[in-house]
Structure 1
Amino acid sequence: MAAKPFREPLLQRQVDANLQRARSMFAFGGLLLTTLLGGCGDATKPTTNGAPTTTLDIDTVIHCGSLIDGLADTPVLQQSVAIRAGRIVSVMPTSKLSSHNADATVVDLSDMTCLPGLINTHVHFDGNPEDSMDYSVYATRTAAETLQLVLDNAETTLLTGFTTVRHVGAWFPDAVYEARALIERGDAAGPRIQTAGPYLTIPGGGGDLTFPEIPPEDIPPESQQGIASTPEEFAARAEAAFAAGADFLKVIASGAVFSVGTDPGAPEMTQADIEAVVAVARRYGKKVTAHVHSDQSGKDAILAGVDSLEHASLLEDNTIALAAERGVAFSMDVYNGTYTDTIGREQGYPEVFLQRNTDTTEAQRIVFEKAYQAGVTLLYGTDAAVLPHNMGGWQFATMIEHGMTPMDAIRSATSVAADHMDLAHDVGAIAPGRLADIIAVQGDPLMRPKTLRDIPVVLKAGVIVKNAD
């Protein structure tokens, strides 16, 4: 099939701050965008009753009915967020903001709850759930089609409120590098991407693109960038991944649910293999995450020095305690087992995948509950590609059902994820100095977490990229 042409991106590059500030008055899909009269410069002046108010020189001000900043334990009512050149310059009670420069854009969300742009720490933009029914598609898509797939899924993810993601491995890492560059330049719409590059995996392992539908001679060479069999080979693959543009690394320490010839409960990499990868990452000042289902693989990965575990489905209590002691975070996709067991079954996923999903789903949720109680850092990660890319917000309710407080669930996808990704200076909270990544929903997501499944307003770096009023 022919590659689809690139669509005009929703998010346009801001050439300079003055371009945005030149907007004096316009409507964007029903949001009230107006200008207010006021003074220039940052200053404080008294009101008629003597209470101090603030005048700001800004590009945009957002009035929030309620604000969850990603840091505090409770929301705050009637807050205004002032933005200049894509960054937050102040957050204050709306009553304290009396005026600002006349050309500033005002976004009225006073009947909505504002939150930081969300972070998904486990996505794969080079695949979709329906690919599980016939993996031969990975051998037949052209490079242009794969890039377009990555860009489409990135845009979908942004429009669901996720402004930053961690791309934890790819069969087509070059397409992800290219998409990341297009998004960073403002030539395509999507979240900020940290990518692990290729899966680091053994031949025929959980990260190898070996499926009956694909003859060995048709396996795309790009998908083989991370294949290794010894610690020395894994170190070389890790070096190559960083040279190509990886931001961190991912090892496939155990078998996978969606693979052929592997067992999720069995180790695939040795502790020495993982240690070799970690040693390379430390030289670059980078992190390593490990795909883990089996308890032994989890223990090996923790002792090898990884920074986080993906899935962590079958861990025993002593391994959970070891993770808490060593400060190893878990990114646990606790919702998508439900999707696979329902939609996947209806669509005819292979029985071996469905059985493995059954074997790991409830076990993983028990580990999640224990890990939360043990104080393990839990990151929000959905395994997008197994889960559709437009369902990123569906996991919050499941996390809460299994013992996490609603605010901790939100923080797992905001400040906690940002801290783990070393991005707290830019994202993860609505706070001065950080980028103005802001979403808004109707109602209270602490009381009704399912509101986070459909996010009507999304801003990335102060630019409105979605308004579904």
Structure 2
Amino acid sequence: MQKLRLITWCLTANIILLTLHSGAKAANKEEPITVVVTADKMLDVAKGTFLNHPQITIRNGRIVAVEQVGATIPAGARKIELPGITIMPGFIDMHVHLTSDPHYGGYRGLEFTDNFWTAVGVANAKKTLDAGFTTVRNVGSSNYDDVAIKQAIEERQIPGPRIIPATYAIGATGGHCDTTEFPPSLTVPTPGVANGPDEIRATVRKLRKYGAEVIKFCATGGVFSKTDSVSGQQYSLLEMKALVDESHMLGLKVAVHAHGASGIKDAIRAGADTIEHASLADDEAYTLAKQHGTWFSMDIYNDDYILAEGEKNGTFPESLEKERMIGLKQRQSFKNALKAGVKMVFGTDAGIYPHGDNARQFKTMIDWGMTPIQAIQAATVNAANALGRTADVGEIEVGRYADIIGVKGDPLNDVTLLQSIKFVMKSGEVIKEIK
């Protein structure tokens, strides 16, 4: 009898605990958050047309309806009214370096501890988001800092854009992605340096292991590497193909730093997804890019900043000389690539100029041949396509993240309005409010 009572007591206690647990779960379960945004106009970036008096319904950070004012508003929804504002999807910058700051050029960066640059990246992430760039591709940083910043943003420890990190850029010994400004007696860690197909494949695997979501490699020399030729090819076609094949096998897209024509063309032949800079591309490169569906990401604004501020910032004289040689040619290549029908995305190389000024490039793109809607498409629908993220970013469309920015006026009439974003929302959360 006593044993039976004990069993009955245990069963009763378990039932009570299960009931309390279920009740606590029900009480703690958050109701879906519904937000309704209304504005004066919405720019449909895919069509290049405006929708008057849009009404966007958002639930749990995703868009569930794109309608016009007057449509039914869900009960209990939070309303955000933006009179006089034109809304559009948050911008995507395909080429940034959040942990870089142009004010510390040349050897000046050696004055600081390694973790200083992580803190710089935190500050730059906020500036980038406030400027209306809700998604960025960070194509190169040390110490896996871009992964750390991405994690901190996703854990809501700091504000910042959605980050697609590359971690270290991969490159050959002595190349643009190596550290070349020191004598042999000084060595620094170079996790991204790899030579030969097998070593390159292993490096791709290592970077993916530690958080890379895109692989970036250096096919040619660069402006800010001290000792190489800006146009000289630094990986063979065989090495590039090994890198691209390994990356694609692992589900990663590949971005390629390439200024010189031969490096650009071999990177395209190897199957790279985007060519960064593409400064000295020629007619054959344009043809190859069209054949392979390769995107060009050309940072044509920053030449103005480098030549105006570089010497004051401590930039190496060798780098300034290379920029003088290549800046105008890159802009001419941009115009020629556009005419040839090469697919283009928006990439600025932010970190070479101050973060938060990303939108200054829109005007430069228009000055060199794009229409305003083409420039905006490069930073929205085109970039989403190149990322393989057409299901969640790049448009104000049902199912995508509620990444919404707003300006006063018509950005197709005055693209410089994009340099003064009045409203920013990322994943349904208001980041910057109308003042």
* TM-score > 0.5 by shorter chain: yes
Shift of 1:136: 4.1
Residue correspondences, number:
408
* 1-structure distance, mates of 2:241, 2:414: 43
Give the conservation status (yes or no) of the 8 Å contact 1:78–1:110.
Answer: no
Match of 2:173 in 1: 203
* 1-structure distance, mates of 2:178, 2:127: 26
Give the conservation status (yes or no) of the 8 Å contact 2:226–2:316.
Answer: no
Quote the RMSD (CA, aligned, Å). 1.8
* 1-structure distance, mates of 2:427, 2:184: 45
* 2-structure distance, mates of 1:80, 1:158: 23
1:87 to 47, 62, 86: 62
SS of match in other structure, 1:187: coil
* 2-structure distance, mates of 1:245, 1:404: 35
User: Which blocks of at least 5 consecutive residues in structure 1 are unaligned?
Assistant: 1-14, 22-58
* 1-structure distance, mates of 2:143, 2:392: 25
1:346-377 CA-to-partner distances (Å, cap 9, x unmatched) read 44533221111111111111111111122211
SS of match in other structure, 2:276: strand
Shift of 1:135: 4.6
Match of 2:94 in 1: 121
* 1-structure distance, mates of 2:223, 2:85: 40
SS of match in other structure, 1:76: strand
1:134 to 97, 107, 111: 107
* 2-structure distance, mates of 1:190, 1:216: 39
Give the conservation status (yes or no) of the 8 Å contact 1:132–1:258.
Answer: no
Match of 2:137 in 1: 166
Letter paired with 2:128:
T
2:398 to 427, 432, 436: 432
* 2-structure distance, mates of 1:166, 1:357: 23
Matched, 1:322 2:322: no
* 1-structure distance, mates of 2:315, 2:122: 25
Letter paired with 1:281:
S
Shift of 1:159: 0.9
SS of match in other structure, 2:272: coil
Alignment of 1:410-449 (within 5 A): 410-449=376-415
1:98-148 CA-to-partner distances (Å, cap 9, x unmatched) read 5431x22111112111010100000011211112243543x74233x2322
Matched, 1:177 2:143: no
Give the conservation status (yes or no) of the 8 Å contact 1:159–1:458.
Answer: yes
User: Which blocks of at least 5 consecutive residues in structure 2 are unaligned?
Assistant: 1-27
SS of match in other structure, 1:392: coil
Give the conservation status (yes or no) of the 8 Å contact 1:135–1:211.
Answer: no
Alignment of 1:17-28 (within 5 A): 18=31, 21=33
Letter paired with 2:139:
V
2:127 to 148, 156, 161: 156
Matched, 1:217 2:217: no
SS of match in other structure, 1:425: coil
Give the conservation status (yes or no) of the 8 Å contact 1:210–1:216.
Answer: no
* 2-structure distance, mates of 1:288, 1:99: 43
SS of match in other structure, 1:373: helix
Structure number with bigger Rg: 2
Match of 1:364 in 2: 330
* 1-structure distance, mates of 2:322, 2:108: 18
Alpha-carbon distance change, 142 to 286 in structure 1, aligned in 2, over 3 angstroms? closer
Shift of 1:210: 2.7
Give the conservation status (yes or no) of the 8 Å contact 1:69–1:431.
Answer: no
Give the conservation status (yes or no) of the 8 Å contact 2:108–2:314.
Answer: no
Match of 1:191 in 2: 161
TM-score if structure 1 supplies the norm length?
0.84
2:369 to 390, 394, 403: 403
1:54-105 CA-to-partner distances (Å, cap 9, x unmatched) read xxxxx111111111132112122211111111111111121x325431x221
Matched, 1:240 2:206: yes
SS of match in other structure, 1:217: coil
Letter paired with 1:382:
T
Match of 2:41 in 1: 66
* 2-structure distance, mates of 1:179, 1:243: 17
SS of match in other structure, 2:82: strand
* 1-structure distance, mates of 2:280, 2:143: 28
| Seq. identity, % | 34
Alpha-carbon distance change, 388 to 265 in structure 1, aligned in 2, over 3 angstroms? same
SS of match in other structure, 2:128: helix
* 1-structure distance, mates of 2:258, 2:52: 42
1:388-423 CA-to-partner distances (Å, cap 9, x unmatched) read 111011000010111111111111101110111111
SS of match in other structure, 1:130: coil
* 1-structure distance, mates of 2:74, 2:192: 53
Match of 2:24 in 1: none
* 1-structure distance, mates of 2:260, 2:105: 22
Alignment of 1:258-337 (within 5 A): 258-337=224-303
Shift of 1:243: 1.2
Letter paired with 2:175:
G
Letter paired with 2:170:
L
